Structure 1
Amino acid sequence: MNAQIQNALNPDVAKVLEAVQGRSLDRIFFVACGGSSALMYPSKYVLDREAKTIASDVYNANEFIHRNPATLGEGSLVILCSHSGGTKETVAAARFAREKGALTVSLTAKPESPLAEASEFVIKYEKASYFDETVAKNSDFYLMYQLVTGVLNHKEGNALFSDMVESLENLGTVYEKTKAQFLDRSKSFGETYKDASIIYTMASGSNYCAAYMFAVCILMEMQWIHSHPIHAGEYFHGPFEVLTPEVPFIMLLGLDETRPLEERALEFSRQYSDNLIVIDAKEFDMEGIADSVKGYIAPLVLNKVLGVYATAIATARNHPLETRRYMGKVPY
């Protein structure tokens, strides 16, 4: 590892990579709930594309315990995430994984939280991915990618690690440019759809995380708008029957290998809808991002652009993103 990469590597991530070197590792489990789970989808995609000896799965934290995977054991790395570090299902999952002999690593903004105490290693992040922030360094996505590509490099010699770490250093500039680029469009979106009763969001591959976060964490949780993330590959197997000229669809197009699925869905939808909101990663200024990782970085930028859209619709509706009926308000 050269000095430039060493200096850019987060110290908490470096500690985990050092521990990984001394262990036999054949499986990675990504375990969390809600948006914390969705942010793991791109890392799962990276492993599917790059890993030759390490299998991976994404689990809801509660189901992880109840399903009790037979492959969970001493050869497992379990990566967990909770912004507050207090999500009870995720805390229980960390304890469960440790009892099985797995190496547990948790990402959280609260290093003194119950999740941190339940895990062997803790990686503290500074910003949550789905808020309207241009900050990239030491955010949740940033650290997740450092960790996953670092594991691939340490265990399989995968060369993607250097390109990823160097590219992540330029991510903040990319965020700033795209936020400015889509600001006017986001305000128009907010005014146009502030009274919409339902809004769908569609994507595929590594970009599905952005569709999930916006549909579930923003529209449903934070705006109380009926919504659902639709996988572009599943669109023609039922969901396209709800397409009418009036129903808004946010269509996300990324740069990974599944883009043809998104393009097919968009081409069809243009024939029957007057309310398509298209956000295409080909429009992004990705200067400073290596070609080898642009497909992996695109969903992070798509998610950040949707953060701008989230602020715009919340402002237009006079419904702050922090408003809740039940979450943190009543027992559940």
Structure 2
Amino acid sequence: MIYYNEDEFKEQYEKVLSQIPTVLEIVDEIKKHNIKRIFMIGSGGAYTKFYSIVSYMNKHYCYPVIIEFPSQFQEVYLENLCSSDLIILGTKTGSTDEILSLAKILNKNKNIIVGFIGDDRTPIDNFVHYKIQSYMTDVHLSLLWIFILSLTNYSDISNFIEEVKLLKNDLSDAIKSLSEKANNLVLNNLDKNYQMWISSGDLFGEVRCFCNYMLEEIQWRKAQYVHSCEFFHGPLEVVDQDISFNIVINRDSNREIDLRVANFIKKYGNSLNIIDMKDFELPNISNKHKKFVDSYSLNILFDYLLEIYTNYTNLSSKTRKYYRKVKY
């Protein structure tokens, strides 16, 4: 069994916590401006990270929040940008051609540009007004949620921040408790030619990320992400004994939607793996705040699953065939 590297995670998480004062200062500056529209722009995993906050923003923010790829943003929105538009860019390296080229263009406008950037001293640093360093990833979901809750004047933001500071221990304990189940999930999927991953709500972006950028890009495994609300409009017809189905079940109001899919597959399918977010107990996180950290918890579990896959397949980000290896 591949064991979870707890020390490395905690060390990196402490660096992330050091960014919280910066996040709050940036939000205070943004609030001085009359922001009426927010664009969240990224490629790959940065793009999918932004999905975790969409439902909350639709409920609690009165202006449009739009998530886009850099090239699509240029095609659809660039010419009609207003000075009241806030631009948020997400990137791990700050050197991806599409996002870097866009940042150079946007820097000539009057818009506020915030960058969630993973690495230190990146090419894109010179083209954003405010940088939030994610360290462990492209857009760190704990920092993103603090940014969003502060921006929307969430009444209990102070307590949420204090709980986030305790999350590293809770999350480490949760991953360790799930390590055997995680290893078995990978073993169950190793001989399958096709995997379907299903979820909904705030978790769907992480499921999409895992399928596209871990299973397919790094592990070269055919994987499809399906929203639980879409499952009964097409995908249910491919349920048979040869497909591996994997469902991530929400702990909140989306739970019944996910369980409906799980019950159908139990009846008509053969291989079903379930990740239930209620198994992440997180005792130091209040019940009302667990929905804000579940996407990050799932993100860390998926990183662990990738480590387990790599142990069995010897495939990693270093063995990609095409990404950053050939011109395209």
Task: State the alpha-carbon separation in 2 of the partners of residues 174 and 213 from structure 1.
Answer: 23
| Helix, strand or coil at the partner of 1:28 | strand
Tell me the residue number matched to 1:3.
none
Deviation at 1:283, TM superposition (A): 1.4
The answer to whether 1:38 aligns with 2:64 is: no
Deviation at 1:326, TM superposition (A): 0.8
Deviation at 1:96, TM superposition (A): 3.7
2:195 is aligned with what amino acid?
Answer: I
**Contact 1:8 1:169 survives alignment (8 Å):** no
Q: Find the partner of 2:124 among 103, 115, 128.
A: 115
Task: State the alpha-carbon separation in 2 of the partners of residues 86 and 8 from structure 1.
Answer: 24
Tell me the residue number matched to 2:8.
none
Task: State the alpha-carbon separation in 2 of the partners of residues 287 and 221 from structure 1.
Answer: 35
Q: Find the partner of 2:255 among 259, 263, 266.
A: 259
Deviation at 1:100, TM superposition (A): 4.3
Tell me the residue number matched to 1:169.
165
Cα 1:323–1:206 shift into 2, 3 Å: same
1:68 is aligned with what amino acid?
Answer: Y
Task: State the alpha-carbon separation in 1 of the partners of residues 101 and 255 from structure 2.
Answer: 37
Task: State the alpha-carbon separation in 1 of the partners of residues 207 and 94 from structure 2.
Answer: 24
Tell me the residue number matched to 1:10.
20
Task: State the alpha-carbon separation in 2 of the partners of residues 160 and 72 from structure 1.
Answer: 33
Tell me the residue number matched to 1:271.
267
Deviation at 1:298, TM superposition (A): 1.4
Cα 1:160–1:198 shift into 2, 3 Å: farther
Query: Under a length normalisation based on structure 2, what TM-score does the superposition of the two structures give?
Result: 0.89
The answer to whether 1:25 aligns with 2:35 is: yes
Q: Find the partner of 2:230 among 229, 234, 242.
A: 234
2:147 is aligned with what amino acid?
Answer: L
Q: Find the partner of 1:66 among 63, 67, 75.
A: 75
Tell me the residue number matched to 1:4.
none
Tell me the residue number matched to 1:330.
326
Deviation at 1:41, TM superposition (A): 0.9
Using the TM superposition, name which of 102-111 and 220-229 deviates more.
102-111
Task: List aligned pairs for 1:186-225, cutoff 5 A.
Answer: 186-225=182-221
Q: Find the partner of 1:49 among 53, 59, 74.
A: 59
Task: State the alpha-carbon separation in 1 of the partners of residues 255 and 84 from structure 2.
Answer: 34
Q: Find the partner of 1:314 among 310, 315, 325.
A: 310
Task: State the alpha-carbon separation in 2 of the partners of residues 307 and 80 from structure 1.
Answer: 22
What is the alpha-carbon root mean square deviation over aligned residues? Answer: 2.0
| Helix, strand or coil at the partner of 1:270 | helix
Deviation at 1:123, TM superposition (A): 1.0
Task: State the alpha-carbon separation in 2 of the partners of residues 49 and 256 from structure 1.
Answer: 15
Query: Under a length normalisation based on structure 1, what TM-score does the superposition of the two structures give?
Result: 0.88
Q: Percent identity?
A: 20
Deviation at 1:30, TM superposition (A): 0.9
The answer to whether 1:95 aligns with 2:91 is: no
Deviation at 1:319, TM superposition (A): 2.2
**Contact 2:200 2:258 survives alignment (8 Å):** yes
Cα 1:253–1:304 shift into 2, 3 Å: same
